[in-house]
Chain A
């Protein structure tokens, strides 16, 4: 099979979508772990953030891979959504989707779009700020600035609410996405039931944890 045929195939697209999703899940776990440290210790959070911000492997290898991963995941999400919408040109008058599937599974495009919009705000808040700090203003290295920058962002109640709402939609996205990714790469066996439980736990714990961190800094400082 030629490469061009493989890339056009529905199953190849589905597997690519799953693998990029699993990659983003692993990044999210790391991000969550670092953010959680901010609740316990400003120093630990500062040192971890500084490492992430200045380590050349992370900055110039991992970060571009992550950006490509994010872009691939949402572009492929749109491509699949358009293809799937075209597969049914006349809609049902009565469609009872709730009878056989979860809302989260049927509306990944909605939860995904909200998360994408949130990413825009998030990149503006932190990533753009970092780029300006390091490369435009070329300010001196300050290993202790990260905690205060984080806390400052969550002073605004509007931003705290927006972040929290986005995490609710992220939870819905993960509720389906985590387990769906494993099914797509062909993992469906005697361990699947346990994995499903882990997936649902992850989909609740991580977003709720992020909300907790946002509220913690909003009310604590």
Chain B
């Protein structure tokens, strides 16, 4: 079946480097296959720009199959675009109309500064993880097999669902407050639910929340936008769990 093509206008944030002042620039792109992914459309635009001897647009991408968490982009006012439960690399041009104007902006948050064009620095998430998003394991050679510990199916499932967070930052980007609580709560929950994670649970939640606050993310006001825009459909239930864990930990420590 022959694929349909559309002609589109793109309004894209261009910024030379972290210190430069950026602005929205307009580009016309013709003959975009509706079967192409959003990133393939940007590849096509970059080829066009290179042929015209212009600077191509910088944007993050890696696996292009929705699992690495590298791609971002705020498309037409929504994180990862208008589709649900997909990353930008899984978004297809069939979601857009012929002649449409598409706005593409980087994630906007003080804690995610722009490096260039559409690329932002998400290392704040790494520092939150380093503050406690792990289980310390004694590697003396007598480490117990994790599968030897019986875990209730319901807890295993909830921990797995929380662990599907790919750390893309859509929750922060879409939140009107630039809050990182959905991300942090997913990382806290996936371990708080499992026996291996319970040992360090008190310090984990306190340290991760402390780091989150230090990074300059905003405060959650429960609008629920993060849950809707999350490509992995991480539930708000995790934020409630993090709040409970935090209260417990504060009383204990």
Contact = CB atoms under 8 A, between A and B. Distances in A.
- The yes or no verdict on A and B being binding partners is yes
Interface of A: 1, 5-6, 8-15, 80, 83-84, 86-97, 99-102, 105-106, 108, 176, 179-180, 183-189
What 6 pairs between A and B have smallest CB-CB spacing?
A96-B77, A87-B218, A188-B240, A186-B244, A84-B177, A100-B228
Contact of A187 (B82, B103, B109, B240): B240
B176 interface: yes
Interface of B: 11, 13, 24, 74, 76-78, 82, 103, 105, 108-111, 174, 176-179, 181, 206, 209-210, 212-213, 216-225, 228-229, 236-237, 239-244, 246-247, 249-250, 253
Nearest to B220: A14
Contact of B229 (A9, A88, A100): A100
Residue with the greatest number of chain B CB neighbours at <10 A, chosen from A12, A14, A108: A14
A99 to B, nearest CB: 5
A173 B114 CA distance: 35
B247 A186 contact: yes
Contacts of B250: 1, 6, 9, 12
A154 B219 CA distance: 40
Contact of B237 (A106, A179, A188): A188
26 contacts: A1-B206, A6-B250, A9-B209, A10-B209, A10-B213, A10-B217, A14-B219, A86-B218, A87-B110, A88-B178, A91-B108, A94-B76, A95-B77, A99-B78, A100-B174, A100-B229, A101-B223, A105-B223, A179-B222, A183-B239, A183-B243, A184-B222, A185-B243, A186-B240, A187-B240, A188-B240
Contacts of A106: 176, 223
Contacts of A80: 219, 221
A184 B225 CA distance: 15
Given A9-B210, A11-B242, A108-B221, A93 B11 contact: yes
B8 to A, nearest CB: 15
A11 B243 contact: yes
Contacts of A8: 213
Given A1-B250, A83-B218, A86-B110, A184 B243 contact: yes
